[in-house]
Structure 1
């Protein structure tokens, strides 16, 4: 049976499907990580604004951590600026470093 092509389509399909599934899974993980980074940036900006207005550290941490689950919040100052750094795991089941966002606002702002 030389030249018999029966079953070759099934074999090719079996090889291609895992690759397509992997590409789709990586694309979904990339979108999830990007979304989490955007939320971290929003949380850091909100925290910095609250800190600059003179809100307490507890309120700043609560507001920032409320936007991103599992976030760690660090509050500090840099000259005339109040700064907040928010970091959290990437949320993707891959060995990736933690995501971090930092934002500063002028102290005493309204």
Structure 2
């Protein structure tokens, strides 16, 4: 019976796997980090919308800031009046691993004076 391949090829699959595995792991980690950043962006946008509605109803700035801080504790929050609208913006930096830092920004406006 004749064998396919030679003894020189023995173990080549393990060597190829050892070379490819770090790239696959890195790709998976970056994908998970990107999904985490997207989820944080959605949460931050929702929090700024809630904060804008609170300020539009006449609630305190502290209450609006607390809503945003509940979703992102280190977020910088600002608010302003634009005509009949109360607008809230939030900025936060998130880290994916130790090397990549992604700035996230969310803004939302609500009609003022809606008590």
Q: TM-score, normalised by structure 1?
A: 0.90
Task: Please point out which of 105, 110, 113 is paired with 1:105.
Answer: 110
Structure 2: segments with no counterpart, 5+ residues: 1-5
Task: Please point out which of 30, 42, 65 is paired with 1:26.
Answer: 30
Aligned length: 109
Q: How well do the aligned residues superpose, as a CA RMSD in angstroms?
A: 1.5
Structure 1: segments with no counterpart, 5+ residues: none
Q: Which segment drifts farther, 80-89 or 93-102?
A: 93-102
Q: Which runs of 4+ in 1 moved over 3 A?
A: 94-97
Q: TM-score, normalised by structure 2?
A: 0.87
Deviation at 1:3, TM superposition (A): 6.7
Higher strand fraction: Structure 1 or Structure 2? 2
- Whether the aligned pair in 2 keeps the contact of 1:90 and 1:99 (CA below 8 Å) is yes
Structure having the higher Rg? 2
